[in-house]
Amino acid sequence: MFKLINKITERLELRSIESILTLFIGSCLLVLSGVTGFMLWYSSASILVVSTVLVLLICPFSLLCWYVRRALLNPYYRFSAVLEAVRHEDYSLRANPKFNQGAVKLLADEITSMSADLQSRKSQYDQQAVLVLRLIEQLATPIVVLNKEHKLHHANEAFSNWRKQPWQTLRHTSADDLGFTLSANKWQLSDESLIAKWQLRHSQFTMQEQSYQLLVLTNIEQVVYHTEQIAWQKMTRVLSHEINNSLSPIKSLAQTLQDMLKGNDGFAKLDPALQVIVERSDGLMQFVNRYANLSKQFDVHIEQCEIAPLLQSVSNLFDYPIEIKCDALYVLADKVLLEQVLVNLVKNAIEASKSQQLIELNAYEQGKQIVIEVKDSGSGIQNTDNLFVPFYTTKAQGKGIGLNLCRNMIEQQGAKLTLSNREDGMGAIAQCWFNI
């Protein structure tokens, strides 16, 4: 008997609560009908009386059972709807059962508490995500956020400047089209010319249950430049010491021989040769010592300078067609050093241009920087790798220190000097970048 009851109980537990209630209500109706019919039959009532009594009892009881069934099941349907909404991150629904106490009320309170807790956590996660994106936007180095399909999800203004177009117009662009390639789980720049100037670091993070790739570009050009400068200084220091130690006695001996041979007509032909030795010794020592000026510290006085008068004063120094376009009012710089740099850059532009080719002298704002640039229409830069190499020059009478000296002057003002070929035509463009 108990085994039979256990089997029935186990089968009932495998059913849904709706099935259990239906089975229970049906059983009650059968028992009620059977007991009522038996009692009426036992009392010798007529069939009409039995039928009437059964209808009068069963109909109200059935309605009562239906109401009870609905009252018991409706809270669970409500709970299901609330949980479904929570799963879709909709926390506006609330489980408000008609029962003010008991297990259903306890369950409703727990679901409401869980929904409020999840809503609070989601709000915190959203705030953190917004904070991260805002922090990325404020950084000065180009940063890219790629989604799980490796398409652009977010970037900052520095990346827009790096790409020379707003990153919003590139949203959902693939990483390959942006110039990034993934090889052996490592992101790399596809343009080899950028690899020498930019270091690419990457990491993966999760935001709002989505996986993202964070790519950070670091400009290592300055690091490489300073490393090269230190190497050049060390090499020049050694060469200067060795060459000066060798040239000084040679020059001294040549001058001594000149003094000894003065008035001796037999050795008159040697005097020009000795003079050449003296002059070339002086020239070579000056050539080696000149590099010391490239790394010297200038007395820098940063102030707010009006750009338009500065550009006009530089233009007035040259009898050459120069077009000035100034869209920026002020720049924080050392006026004397900046003017000297612009004079050197304009002089180089004139030498690179053909007769009376127009030179442009422009100033404008780009992002959070002021750009002052010199454009020429010459043949452009042939060897960009050696632009700032000391003593390297393509001019017949050049010394190879002009651009390096200009770069040193600009950098000591907290700015940056770049040179490149023009993208809108023939010629080169020199740009001085100052922070606002």
- The model's pLDDT over 17-39, given as tens digits with 9 standing for 90+, comes to 666 667 777 777 777 677 766 66
Q: Are 154 and 160 in contact (CB under 8 A)?
A: no
Domain end residue (candidates: 168, 189, 219): 219
Tell me: the pLDDT tens digits for 298-321? Answer: 788 899 999 999 999 889 888 888
Instruction: Clarify whether residues 277 and 316 are in a common domain.
Output: no
Within a domain: residue 363? yes
Average pLDDT estimate for 261-268 = 69
Q: What pLDDT sits at residue 399?
A: 44
Within a domain: residue 124? no
| pTM (2 d.p.) | 0.48
Q: Which long-range contacts (CB under 8 A, 24 or more apart) does 124-133 make?
A: 125/207, 125/208, 126/208, 129/207, 129/208, 132/207
Whether the per-residue pLDDT at 373 is higher than 90: the answer is: yes
Beta strand pairing call for 210-219 and 143-146: antiparallel
Within a domain: residue 126? no
Instruction: Clarify whether residues 101 and 177 are in a common domain.
Output: no
Instruction: Clarify whether residues 281 and 308 are in a common domain.
Output: no
Tell me: the pLDDT tens digits for 121-172? Answer: 776 666 666 777 788 888 888 989 999 899 998 898 888 888 888 989 998 8
The domain total for the chain is 4
Q: Is residue 331 classed exposed, middle or buried when 0-12, 13-18 and 19+ CB atoms within 10 A define those classes?
A: buried
Instruction: Clarify whether residues 349 and 422 are in a common domain.
Output: yes
Q: How many CB atoms lie within 10 A of CB 91?
A: 19
- Least-confidence region, from 6-15, 392-401, 408-417: 392-401
Instruction: Clarify whether residues 148 and 228 are in a common domain.
Output: no
Where does 92-184 have alpha helices with state H? 103-138, 157-163, 175-178
Q: What pLDDT sits at residue 257?
A: 78
Q: Is residue 427 classed exposed, middle or buried when 0-12, 13-18 and 19+ CB atoms within 10 A define those classes?
A: buried
Q: What pLDDT sits at residue 405?
A: 79
The mean of the pLDDT values for the chain is: 78
What whole-number distance in Å separates Cα of residue 73 and Cα of residue 53?
A: 30
Instruction: Clarify whether residues 147 and 47 are in a common domain.
Output: no
Q: Which residue range forms the structural domain that includes residue 349? A: 303-435
pLDDT band at 63 (very low <50, low <70, confident <90, very high): confident
Within a domain: residue 6? no
Where does 139-206 have alpha helices with state H? 157-163, 175-178, 192-195
Instruction: Clarify whether residues 209 and 309 are in a common domain.
Output: no
Within a domain: residue 125? no
Within a domain: residue 239? yes
Domain end residue (candidates: 113, 128, 161): 113
Q: Are 91 and 116 in contact (CB under 8 A)?
A: yes
Instruction: Clarify whether residues 410 and 370 are in a common domain.
Output: yes
Q: What pLDDT sits at residue 331?
A: 93
Beta strand pairing call for 428-435 and 369-375: antiparallel
What whole-number distance in Å separates Cα of residue 345 and Cα of residue 406?
A: 8
Domain end residue (candidates: 249, 264, 295): 295
Instruction: Clarify whether residues 388 and 411 are in a common domain.
Output: yes
